[in-house]
């Protein structure tokens, strides 16, 4: 993702999928699309990993939805009932789509997106553990929060990155992370007071996040009342999807 005139721009490049050097960033191409994800290295005592430089945007998430709902897709393994329904009109709340973080993503949808991404890249992608997320949440960097966001999300990478070059680790949208107690949403969002960003905000999914879903039965793929829930992905060196 690049920035020009305050806008997040997609990088349309072709790159290989070989394992990167464990100290360098790499750009992940996605088979069948023109979209790429910039992955940043993070050092860990248990083995280095890479985390997406930005939150996952609608640009890529909409491609995932089109693929998984395509009637021609014999590999989707879902039907019109069990598959993720297309985003209904208000799911982005009018905040913006191109370059904006995907929102209202349920835990089931986040896991399915990681499976799809792994298949398309031949590299294993997952939701970060809370330990990985904490290691990537280092000093510095700007944040969209309750006091400066204007009650809306903002295009990714429009604040300053943190000291290892990662954008929006805190604020803009909360992000799924794996904990000992299950999946949780951490980091805070554009609705969170600045002083509560980071690991001070760890949210457990609750029924109230989907009370006003206009679909019946209510979708397990979208949170109609949690417009602050987004997604970031990680991968580890040399792993491939089987």
Task: For residue 115, tell me if it sits in a domain.
Answer: yes
Task: For residue 241, tell me if it sits in a domain.
Answer: no
Q: Which of 11, 39, 12 is nearest to 125 (CA)?
A: 39
**CA 14 – CA 32 distance, rounded (Å):** 11
Average pLDDT value for residue range 77-81: 42
CATH number of the domain residue 110 falls in: 3.90.1580.10
Question: In the block, which residue shows the tokens 């799809």?
Answer: 116
Highest mean pLDDT among 11-20, 42-51, 91-100, 128-137: 128-137
Average pLDDT value for residue range 62-71: 80
pLDDT of the residue at 78: 43
**CA 126 – CA 191 distance, rounded (Å):** 26
pLDDT of the residue at 123: 95
- Residue 196 clears pLDDT 60, i.e. is over it: yes
Average pLDDT taken over every residue of the chain: 84
Average pLDDT value for residue range 127-148: 96
- Which CB contacts under 8 angstroms, 24+ apart, belong to 66-74? 67/32, 67/116, 68/112, 68/116
Residue range(s) defining the domain that contains residue 225: 2-236
- Lowest mean per-residue pLDDT among 75-79, 134-138, 186-190: 75-79
Task: For residue 11, tell me if it sits in a domain.
Answer: yes
Task: For residue 127, tell me if it sits in a domain.
Answer: yes
Q: How would residue 183 be classed by pLDDT, with cut points 50, 70 and 90?
A: very high
pLDDT of the residue at 161: 97
C-alpha 61 chain-centroid distance: 9
> What is the number of structural domains in the chain?
1
pTM for this entry: 0.85
Task: For residue 242, tell me if it sits in a domain.
Answer: no
Q: Which of 97, 98, 128, 123 is nearest to 111 (CA)?
A: 128
Q: Which two tokens stand for residue 125?
A: 């992608």
Task: For residue 98, tell me if it sits in a domain.
Answer: yes
Q: Beta partners for 9?
A: 2
Cβ atoms of 51 and 166 within 8 Å: the answer is: yes
Q: Which of 190, 187, 198 is nearest to 154 (CA)?
A: 190
Question: pLDDT for 111-135, tens place per residue?
Answer: 999 999 999 999 999 999 999 999 9
Average pLDDT value for residue range 78-100: 68
Task: For residue 106, tell me if it sits in a domain.
Answer: yes
Task: For residue 21, tell me if it sits in a domain.
Answer: yes
The backbone torsions φ and ψ at residue 41, rounded to the nearest 5 degrees and listed phi first, read -75, 145
Q: How would residue 84 be classed by pLDDT, with cut points 50, 70 and 90?
A: low
């Amino acid at each position: 993702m690049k920035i020009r005139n305050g806008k997040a721009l997609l990088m349309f490049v072709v790159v290989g999928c070989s394992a990167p050097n464990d100290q360098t960033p790499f750009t992940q191409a996605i088979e069948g699309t023109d979209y790429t994800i910039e992955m940043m290295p993070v050092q860990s005592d248990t083995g280095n990993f890479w985390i997406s430089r930005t939150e996952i945007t609608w640009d890529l998430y909409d491609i995932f939805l089109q693929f998984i709902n395509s009637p021609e897709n014999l590999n989707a393994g879902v039907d019109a009932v069990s598959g993720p329904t297309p985003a209904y009109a208000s799911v982005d709340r009018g905040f913006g789509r191109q370059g904006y973080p995907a929102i209202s993503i349920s835990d089931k949808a986040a896991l399915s997106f990681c499976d799809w991404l792994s298949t398309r890249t031949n590299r294993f992608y997952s939701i970060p553990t809370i330990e990985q997320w904490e290691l990537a949440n280092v000093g510095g960097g700007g944040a969209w929060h309750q006091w400066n966001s204007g009650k809306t999300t903002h295009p990714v990478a429009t604040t300053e990155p943190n000291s290892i070059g990662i954008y929006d680790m805190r604020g803009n949208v909360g992000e799924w992370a794996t904990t000992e107690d299950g999946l949780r949403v951490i980091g805070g969002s554009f609705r969170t007071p600045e002083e509560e960003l980071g690991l001070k905000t760890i949210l457990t999914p609750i029924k109230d996040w989907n009370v006003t879903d206009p679909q019946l039965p209510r979708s397990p793929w979208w949170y109609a009342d949690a417009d602050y829930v987004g997604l970031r992905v990680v991968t580890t060196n040399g792993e491939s999807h089987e």
